[in-house]
Amino acid sequence: MRSLRGTMVVLGLAGTAFTVACSTNPATGKSQLTLVSESQEIAMGRQSDSGVVQQMGLVQDQAVQNYIRSIGTKLSQVSERPQLEWTYRVVDDPVVNAFAIPGGFVYITRGILGYLNNEAQLAGVMGHETGHVTARHSVEQISRSQLAQLGLGIGSVLSPTVASLSNVAGAGLSVLFLKFSRDDESQADQLGLRYMTKLGYDPHEMAKVMSELGRVSSAEGAGKTPEWLETHPDPANREQAINQQIAAGKLAGSTVAEAEFMSHINGLMFGPNPREGFFRQGLFLHPDLGFQIQFPTGWQATNQKQAVMAISKEQDAMIELSMVPQKSLDAAAQGFFGSQGLQATQPRRTRIGEFDAVTGEFAAQNQDGSQVRGAAAFIAFNSGVFQILGYGTAQGYANNQSQIQSTMGSFQRVTDRSVLNVQPMKLEVVKIPQAMTLTQFNQQYPSQVAIEKVALINQIDDANAQIPAGRLLKRVVQHG
């Protein structure tokens, strides 16, 4: 089970006392409406940080984490808010993304690292996110009540009672999604360029990042953008604006540090980690835990850190699979069906496939007075207990009841050795011994991904153009 996709921030705003004030932001020099003090900003950031780490996880490579932290520390110290307790980390998410939350918490996904080519590009991305914090963009949004609560499209489905018994409550439905304005993005670009060039990095590399993210967007297909561009609106003139600033003589730097960067991403996991579970046309397989389950055809499924979820086409019902802390099947079932505010049928002992199970139906009141209906199954598997919840609006549950029951009944052990032995893909850095084209490189050093992807991660437009000897190129390998 895997983390949420995208930039999700758990912000504890309830009960916070806000003081209305206008102040001059030290980074932008502009007057700014602030209902949130710096101490409140830091407190929100700390609370949000624990949620991000829980939901997404951190890359378990201390050398990479130390490398990111060292660059971040230098960026923060040349910023206008060096007094913050800055935290820079790599989260274990394959999407191309980077984000920041209030108080000095900046995150780089391992996914975006695979598409960068040197330390200057990394510093540009990290400087941009640092700029969002120094300019207090998210704080300004909070002050203007511009935060929008997500709900994975089904916010009306989940009652408080069911939410308290579901992993969804902490993993998806209570998060806030920050979207910055074009002015905010332009400011963050300018600040990021300011910070990276103060450290001597070549600002041209930040323009290359914009170009690269545009290519990633195009490669994903029409209407599909990488997460970084979804959370960072990217006008067509952004790369041009950066180049204009460089041409105006306001920015200078020459450090690129390709070899240093490449040495740290060599061996880094690339793409989703199949050991944490993956989908095959609605069939979810988990090699490490050794189970599989079939979700309904056409439902939108997602693999999160705490749960696997699928949402109906009409977004009026969902199914969630998770592990529960109780080791006893009966204790897990009684803890759920006996919960206050839940009207439940008498749970019954049964079998799902080869496993002991307890199943039952339930209902609860939604906040608007409507009813949530659903079914729950608890399955004893190996030394733990799995919980499967299928629920929705009263009508949504009725319409999808048979599909929910079918999914619950499909839980079984994985026996396919190819699934049990699957291994993640990793980046391998190669120093090419002589001049060659990317096509020749791919023939001599084959990858587990298409040559178009190899070109993309190496920021090469023409696969038949000559690449000079000694250049460091990335390929994607899979062992085992």
Per DSSP, what are the bridge partners of residue 385?
A: 324, 380
CB 374 within 8 A of CB 392: yes
Give dist(CA 447, CA 114) in Å, integer: 14
CB 106 within 8 A of CB 52: no
Cβ within 8 Å of residue 8, ≥6 positions away = 51, 52, 55, 150, 172, 175, 176, 177
CATH 3.10.350 region(s) of the chain?
A: 425-477
Burial of 395 (0-12, 13-18, 19+ CB in 10 A): middle
CATH 3.40.1000.10 region(s) of the chain?
A: 274-420
As given in the structure block, the two tokens for residue 155 are 């916010």
Q: Is the CATH number 3.10.350 carried by domain 425-477? A: yes
Per-residue confidence (pLDDT) for residue 37, from 0 to 100: 75
3-state secondary structure of 161: helix
Per-residue confidence (pLDDT) for residue 242, from 0 to 100: 85
CB 122 within 8 A of CB 260: no
Element (H, E) at 427: strand 425-431
Ranges under pLDDT 70 in the chain: 1-36, 137-165, 167-180, 220-237, 480
Cβ neighbours, 10 Å, residue 81: 18
Q: Minimal CA–CA distance to 424: which of 275, 295, 316, 280?
A: 275
- Name the fold adopted by 274-420: Protein Transport Mog1p; Chain A (3.40.1000)
CB 61 within 8 A of CB 268: yes
Distances (CA, A) of 203 to 169, 196, 471: 42, 7, 21
Distances (CA, A) of 339 to 160, 161, 333, 345, 368: 12, 8, 10, 12, 20
Per-residue pLDDT tens over the stretch 388-406: 999 999 999 999 999 999 9
CB 435 within 8 A of CB 302: no
CB 230 within 8 A of CB 187: no
As given in the structure block, the two tokens for residue 254 are 């020459």
As given in the structure block, the two tokens for residue 116 are 């960068």
Give dist(CA 69, CA 90) in Å, integer: 9
Alpha helices in 13-109 (DSSP H): 38-56, 62-77
As given in the structure block, the two tokens for residue 169 are 């409550």
CB 449 within 8 A of CB 476: yes
Place of tokens 């799995």: 386
Cβ within 8 Å of residue 116, ≥6 positions away = 122, 125, 209, 212, 261
Place of tokens 């979804």: 230
Per-residue pLDDT tens over the stretch 317-347: 999 999 998 889 999 999 999 998 899 999 9
DSSP 189-249: HHHHHHHHHHTTB-THHHHHHHHHHHHHHHHT-TT---HHHHHS---TTHHHHHHHHHHTT
Residue 471 phi, psi dihedral angles, 5° rounding: -70, 140
Element (H, E) at 442: helix 438-444
Of the chain, the end-to-end C-alpha distance in Å amounts to 21
Residues in the chain, how many? 480
Per-residue confidence (pLDDT) for residue 317, from 0 to 100: 94
